Amino acid sequence: MIIDESWQSVKVQCYCGYRGEETPLSFQMGKKRYKIRRVLKGWYEGERGDNIALRRVFRVVINKGDIYILVYDNLTDEWYAKAIDVLRKDFAGKG
Protein backbone atom coordinates (compact mmCIF):
# COMPACT_ATOMS: atom_id res chain seq x y z
CA MET A 1 0.00 0.00 0.00
CA ILE A 2 1.40 3.37 -1.05
CA ILE A 3 0.53 6.42 1.05
CA ASP A 4 0.20 9.31 -1.42
CA GLU A 5 -1.62 12.65 -1.61
CA SER A 6 -5.01 10.89 -1.75
CA TRP A 7 -4.58 9.97 1.94
CA GLN A 8 -5.22 12.42 4.76
CA SER A 9 -3.23 12.64 7.96
CA VAL A 10 -5.52 11.99 10.95
CA LYS A 11 -5.42 11.72 14.72
CA VAL A 12 -6.73 8.42 16.02
CA GLN A 13 -8.04 7.46 19.44
CA CYS A 14 -7.51 3.78 20.14
CA TYR A 15 -8.49 1.18 22.68
CA CYS A 16 -5.36 0.61 24.75
CA GLY A 17 -4.81 -3.02 25.64
CA TYR A 18 -1.81 -4.90 26.94
CA ARG A 19 0.08 -4.21 23.68
CA GLY A 20 -0.57 -0.48 23.73
CA GLU A 21 -2.84 1.12 21.17
CA GLU A 22 -4.64 -1.77 19.54
CA THR A 23 -8.01 -0.95 18.01
CA PRO A 24 -9.15 2.42 16.64
CA LEU A 25 -12.26 3.90 18.33
CA SER A 26 -12.47 7.25 16.53
CA PHE A 27 -10.43 9.53 14.31
CA GLN A 28 -10.18 13.24 13.70
CA MET A 29 -9.78 14.61 10.19
CA GLY A 30 -9.30 18.37 10.29
CA LYS A 31 -11.72 19.68 12.91
CA LYS A 32 -14.24 16.84 12.51
CA ARG A 33 -14.23 13.72 14.69
CA TYR A 34 -15.64 10.43 13.37
CA LYS A 35 -16.75 7.68 15.75
CA ILE A 36 -15.96 4.20 14.51
CA ARG A 37 -19.02 1.98 14.63
CA ARG A 38 -17.25 -1.22 13.64
CA VAL A 39 -13.86 -2.53 12.55
CA LEU A 40 -14.51 -4.73 9.54
CA LYS A 41 -10.98 -6.04 9.18
CA GLY A 42 -7.50 -5.40 10.52
CA TRP A 43 -4.15 -6.59 9.17
CA TYR A 44 -0.41 -5.93 9.10
CA GLU A 45 1.68 -4.99 6.06
CA GLY A 46 5.40 -5.21 5.44
CA GLU A 47 8.17 -5.94 7.90
CA ARG A 48 11.16 -3.93 9.12
CA GLY A 49 13.36 -6.97 9.48
CA ASP A 50 12.96 -7.32 13.24
CA ASN A 51 9.51 -8.96 13.02
CA ILE A 52 7.77 -5.61 13.45
CA ALA A 53 5.16 -4.69 10.85
CA LEU A 54 5.69 -1.49 8.90
CA ARG A 55 1.98 -0.69 8.97
CA ARG A 56 -1.22 -1.64 10.73
CA VAL A 57 -4.26 -1.32 8.50
CA PHE A 58 -7.94 -1.23 9.48
CA ARG A 59 -11.10 -1.18 7.37
CA VAL A 60 -13.70 0.63 9.50
CA VAL A 61 -17.31 1.80 9.34
CA ILE A 62 -18.10 5.18 10.86
CA ASN A 63 -21.48 6.20 12.31
CA LYS A 64 -22.78 7.60 9.01
CA GLY A 65 -22.13 4.21 7.40
CA ASP A 66 -19.15 5.36 5.31
CA ILE A 67 -16.20 2.98 5.06
CA TYR A 68 -12.64 4.19 5.59
CA ILE A 69 -9.21 2.61 5.54
CA LEU A 70 -7.00 3.71 8.46
CA VAL A 71 -3.25 3.09 8.29
CA TYR A 72 -0.76 3.42 11.13
CA ASP A 73 2.81 3.79 9.88
CA ASN A 74 5.28 2.43 12.47
CA LEU A 75 8.24 4.23 10.88
CA THR A 76 6.74 7.72 11.10
CA ASP A 77 4.34 7.12 14.04
CA GLU A 78 1.57 8.69 11.91
CA TRP A 79 -2.01 7.72 11.06
CA TYR A 80 -3.61 8.19 7.63
CA ALA A 81 -7.18 7.77 6.40
CA LYS A 82 -8.91 7.36 3.06
CA ALA A 83 -12.63 7.00 2.34
CA ILE A 84 -13.26 3.96 0.17
CA ASP A 85 -17.06 3.75 0.21
CA VAL A 86 -19.07 6.86 0.97
CA LEU A 87 -22.85 6.43 1.09
CA ARG A 88 -24.55 8.57 -1.52
CA LYS A 89 -28.19 9.59 -1.44
CA ASP A 90 -30.21 8.63 -4.49
CA PHE A 91 -31.50 11.81 -6.12
CA ALA A 92 -32.92 10.06 -9.18
CA GLY A 93 -36.48 10.64 -7.98
CA LYS A 94 -36.10 14.43 -7.86
CA GLY A 95 -37.27 16.31 -10.86
> Which residue ranges make up each domain of the chain?
8-85
The pLDDT value given to residue 90:
42
Higher pLDDT, 19 or 80: 80
Q: Please, are residues 86 and 69 in contact by the beta-carbon 8 Å criterion?
A: no
What SS3 state is found at 21? strand
Whole-angstrom distance, CA of residue 95 vs CA of residue 92: 8
Residues 56, 72: Cα–Cα separation, whole Å: 5
Q: How far is CA 5 from the centre of its chain?
A: 15
Choose between 22 and 84: higher pLDDT.
84
Under 8 Å between Cβ of 46 and 2:
no
Burial of 70 (0-12, 13-18, 19+ CB in 10 A): buried
- Contacting residues for 49 by C-beta, under 8 A, at least 6 apart: none
Average pLDDT over residues 67-72: 95
**64 against 18, higher pLDDT:** 64
**Lowest-pLDDT choice from 40-44, 53-57, 78-82:** 53-57
pTM of the model: 0.80
User: Is 90 exceeded by the pLDDT of residue 83?
Assistant: yes
pLDDT digits (tens, 9 = 90+) for 14-54: 987 665 567 999 999 999 999 999 999 999 988 766 667 78
